[in-house]
Structure 1
Amino acid sequence: MEQKVLVAYGSANGSTEEMAEAVARVLRRTEITAEVLPARSVTDLDRYGAVVVGGALYAGRWHKDARRFVRRHRGALAHRPVWFFSSGPLDPTASQRDIPPVPGVKRAMAGLDARGHATFGGCLTEGAQGRVARMILRNGKGGDFRDFAAVEHWAAGLAKELGAMAHG
Structure 2
Amino acid sequence: MTGTVLVTYGTTNGSTARIARSIADVLHRAGLTVEVLPARSVLDVTSYDAVVAGGGLYAGRWQKHARRFLRRHSHDLADRPLWLFSSGPLDASASERDIPPVPGVKKAMIRLDAREHVTFGGCLEKGAKGRVARMILRDGKGGDFRDFTAVGAWAAHIADELTHT
TM over 0.5: yes
Q: Name the CA distance, whole Å, in 2 between partners of 1:25 and 1:143.
A: 24
1:27 and 2:27 are equivalent in the alignment = yes
TM-score, normalization by structure 2: 0.98
Unpaired segments ≥5 residues, structure 2: none
Indicate the RMSD between aligned Cα atoms, in angstroms. 0.7
Determine the C-alpha separation between the residues in 1 that align with 2:136 and 2:103.
23
- For residue 101 of structure 1, what is the aligned residue in structure 2? 101
Structure 1 residue 135 and structure 2 residue 132: aligned?
no
Identity %: 67
For residue 156 of structure 1, report the CA deviation from its aligned partner: 0.2
Aligned ranges 1:41-120 → 2 under 5 Å:
41-120=41-120
Distance in 2, Cα, partners of 1:61 & 1:36: 22
2: distance between equivalents of 1:10 and 1:131?
A: 19
Compute the displacement of 1:90 (Å).
Answer: 0.0
How far the C-alpha of 1:164 sits from its partner, in A, is 1.8
Amino acid paired to 2:95: S
- Provide the aligned length of Structure 1 versus Structure 2: 165
Per-residue CA deviation, residues 36-75 of structure 1 (Å, 9 max, x unaligned), is: 0000000001220000001000011000000000000000
Match of 1:6 in 2: 6
SS at match of 1:135: helix
Give unpaired runs (5+ residues) of structure 1: none
Segments ≥4 residues shifted beyond 4 Å:
none
Distance 2:74 2:164 in 1: 24
What amino acid maps onto 1:86 in structure 2? S
